[in-house]
Amino acid sequence: MSRAAILTCKNLTIGYQNQKTITREISKGLNLQLNRGELVCLVGPNGSGKSTLIRTLTGIQPPLSGEVLLLDKKIADHRSEEKAKTMSVVLTTPVQAGYMTAFDIVALGRFPHTNWVGRLTEDDTEIILSAIASVGAGDLTYRFIHEMSDGERQKVMIARALAQEPVLMVLDEPTAFLDIPHKIETMRILRSVARSTSKAILLSTHDLNLAIRSADRLWIIDQHGALITGIPEDLVLSGIFGSAFGIHGASFDPVRGEFTIPIEKKGTFALRARKSVERIWTWYALERIGYLPADGERGDITVTIRKVDGKPVWEIRTDTVARECSSLAELIETISANDREG
């Protein structure tokens, strides 16, 4: 075993056991490893067992067989305080507490380190403030948690997990309630924490695109509980996403690294333009209304983008129509009108 390993699973079977007789295996034969300074994203379709795996790895739920080793010691054998100094968590359930400032919440992270009344030493205070600063929440320090937005609250909860000073942080869907800029911000924070403090970070997420762009490694669980690991780019090239998430009505685009809405083909287009942002978004717009790029020089429709006085002008040509449009809306309207007539 490599010396950098913080968490290791050996031949792990996860699932539920009800009334001692009924056993529901979700995934078996798992051999996984989490290393220092590594950000790992756990992805998988709904109901694939992401939460069960997280619960088993954090010791909330016992494995059906096999073992989870935290720093070379079985997770169940750790004393609760010792475990808390090794691993901290950020849960999905939103925290609802009144009259608590961000400082108070983050200070709770010092729980396993303080004395019986929870008195904060000068060192504790510094650790708390630097945890808050490292997630970029310095201006929130003395604000009440119930006055914060979801994104701000998530930062505070991550700071709390940091203040616990673990070597491993486990986050259950930390980006779930956030808008896209805040999702990206959260991932950026986590990645920089993993790099700068050489902690291991494991998080589960539904944001595949974000996971592919930011994780050092991905753990993918498919619908049947099979787990595939690897670095994101290898996994994209192997085409595993399409089969792991195989649902009708969504297809994985290996170029963009995300799921796209399948196109109902209406025709083909030829696009004549220089490499530019306008070219990309004209391409997307045509795809959206059901036109795919033609193989040769000629498609069912031909669109040329020209610049007139610095502004783009779209020239459309079909068998029956030829006109110039000043916006993509006009272009799409022209094509749709043409479709209805033809």
Partner 1 sequence: MKPGEIGMRERFRSLTAGPALALCIERFRKMTFGIPLALCVLGVLFVLDIMLGSVNIPLDSLLAIPTGGEVKETWATIFWYWRLPKAITAVFAGAALALSGLLMQTFFRNPLADPFILGISSGASVGVALVMMSAGFCGIGAVFAGLGFLGDVSIAFASVLGSLAVLLLILLISAKIQSSTTILVLGIMVSYISGAIVTILLQFADQSSMHSYSFWTFGSFSGVTWSQLPVLAFFLTAGFGVSFFLTKSLNALLLGEQYAVSMGMDYKKIKNAIIVNTAVMAGVVTAFCGPIGFLGVAVPHFCRSLFVTADHRILVPACVIVGGIIALATDIISHLPGTDLVLPLNAITALFGAPVVIWVIVRGTRFGRGVTT
Min separation Cβ 102 and partner 1, Å: 11
Angle between helices 180-197 and 150-163 (to 10 degrees): 10
Contact 23, 65 (CB under 8 A): no
Query: Which residue lies nearer to partner 1 by CB, 147 or 150?
Result: 147
Q: Which two tokens stand for residue 70?
A: 């935290």
Query: Which residue lies nearer to partner 1 by CB, 104 or 330?
Result: 104
Half-sphere exposure at residue 187, Cβ-oriented, CA atoms within 13 angstroms: 25
Query: How far from the centroid of its chain's Cα atoms is residue 338's Cα?
Result: 41
Query: Which residue lies nearer to partner 1 by CB, 13 or 86?
Result: 86
What is the distance between the alpha carbons of residues 90 and 312, in angstroms, rounded to a whole number? Answer: 48
Min separation Cβ 10 and partner 1, Å: 23
Query: Which residue lies nearer to partner 1 by CB, 71 or 100?
Result: 100
Compute the Cα dihedral for 33, 36, 38, 39 and give only its sign: positive
Query: Which residue lies nearer to partner 1 by CB, 197 or 260?
Result: 197
Query: Which residue lies nearer to partner 1 by CB, 106 or 212?
Result: 106
Min separation Cβ 108 and partner 1, Å: 6
Min separation Cβ 80 and partner 1, Å: 5
If one counts every other C-beta atom within 10 angstroms of the C-beta of residue 45, the result is 16
Min separation Cβ 100 and partner 1, Å: 5
Min separation Cβ 194 and partner 1, Å: 14
Query: Which residue lies nearer to partner 1 by CB, 105 or 158?
Result: 105
Min separation Cβ 87 and partner 1, Å: 8
Min separation Cβ 70 and partner 1, Å: 13
**Residues at the contact surface with partner 1, assessed by CB under 8 A:** 58, 60, 80-85, 87-89, 91, 93, 95-100, 103-105, 108-109, 111-112, 114, 116-118, 125-127, 129-130, 133-134, 138, 141-142, 144, 146-147, 164, 196-198
Min separation Cβ 223 and partner 1, Å: 27
Query: Which residue lies nearer to partner 1 by CB, 170 or 218?
Result: 170
Query: Which residue lies nearer to partner 1 by CB, 80 or 320?
Result: 80
